[in-house]
């Protein structure tokens, strides 16, 4: 295992057959993966922000407000999380993000998904991460995995190059994931989309093939109705608090 908990020894047997059936390509075909709940069972947006609060780098007084907003409206909650970083410089955040990934992230990686990502990358697909988590939090994935691009929640910056606490461009959560993706694919085929919940559904519907990972019962029923293969939750799966009512 490396410092991020990822094995350097490939296990292609873990990748499901419906992924391994994808043909080899030479071009710009895309394979898109959600991050939180799909590549790992934990939540980077929350875990990193809690660490930042504990370290005194950001003010946590609005945490309970954030949790209430997320419970009522998850896409709005994803946008609200950006307010914790108001006034922070991008370079400072980048250092904190790398420190957290190097020493504190401890992700519970989902092996089947990680191996599927490696498989499609080796078959010529361009791998994009599409997430409602702030983009800056996920950029280290480009050094850990064969990821070409991170499409996520972008911070707006002011004239002094400090975060405003607002989102720049299209909010990348729920329907916004699909909307933002459409503006970026530039005619490229989305061959595969992998997600875990209703916030990923619109994005997954854009793909030729979709795969539902550890869905809750409602999204499992939706996935089944769409004909999407499902990786069921293991018996020891524990739902995170903020996802207990909204996936």
Residue 168, in any domain of the structure:
yes
Residue 210, in any domain of the structure:
yes
Residue 162, in any domain of the structure:
yes
pLDDT digits (tens, 9 = 90+) for 119-152: 999 999 999 999 999 999 999 999 999 999 999 9
Nearest Cα to 19, choosing from 97, 139, 157, 112? 112
Residue 177, in any domain of the structure:
yes
In the DSSP assignment, the letter for residue 129 is E
Residue 138, in any domain of the structure:
yes
Residue 241, in any domain of the structure:
no
- Rounded Cα gap, residues 112 and 235, in angstroms: 16
Residue 158, in any domain of the structure:
yes
For position 73, what pLDDT does the model report? 96
pLDDT digits (tens, 9 = 90+) for 96-125: 999 999 999 999 999 999 999 999 999 999
Domain containing 184 equals 12-235
The CATH number given to whatever domain includes residue 136 is 3.40.50.1000
What pTM does this model have? 0.95
Residue 245, in any domain of the structure:
no
- Rounded Cα gap, residues 48 and 104, in angstroms: 9
Q: pLDDT under 70 in the chain at which residues?
A: 240-247
* 237 neighbors 215 (Cβ within 8 angstroms): no
- Rounded Cα gap, residues 176 and 178, in angstroms: 5
Report how many domains make up the chain.
1
For position 239, what pLDDT does the model report? 77
């Amino acid at each position: 295992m490396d410092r991020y908990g990822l094995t350097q020894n490939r296990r292609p047997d873990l990748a499901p057959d419906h992924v391994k059936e994808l043909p080899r390509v030479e071009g710009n075909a895309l394979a898109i993966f959600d991050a939180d709940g799909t590549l790992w069972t934990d939540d980077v947006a929350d875990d990193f922000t809690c660490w930042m609060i504990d370290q005194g780098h950001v003010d946590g007084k609005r945490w309970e407000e954030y949790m209430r907003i997320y419970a009522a409206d998850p896409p709005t909650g994803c946008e609200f999380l950006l307010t914790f970083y108001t006034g922070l410089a991008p370079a400072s955040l980048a250092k904190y993000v790398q420190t957290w990934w190097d020493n504190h992230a401890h992700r519970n990686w989902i092996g089947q998904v990680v191996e599927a990502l490696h498989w499609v990358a080796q078959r010529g697909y361009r791998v994009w991460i599409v997430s409602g988590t702030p983009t800056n939090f996920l950029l280290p994935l480009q050094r850990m995995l064969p990821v070409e691009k991170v499409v996520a929640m972008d911070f707006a910056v002011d004239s002094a190059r400090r975060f405003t606490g607002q989102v720049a461009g299209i909010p990348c959560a729920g329907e916004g994931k699909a909307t933002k993706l459409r503006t970026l694919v530039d005619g490229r085929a989305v061959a595969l989309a992998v997600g875990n919940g209703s916030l990923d559904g619109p994005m997954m519907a854009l793909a030729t093939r979709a795969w539902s990972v550890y869905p809750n019962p409602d999204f499992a029923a939706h996935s089944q109705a769409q004909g999407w293969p499902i990786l069921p939750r293991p018996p020891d799966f524990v739902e995170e608090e903020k996802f207990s009512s909204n996936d």
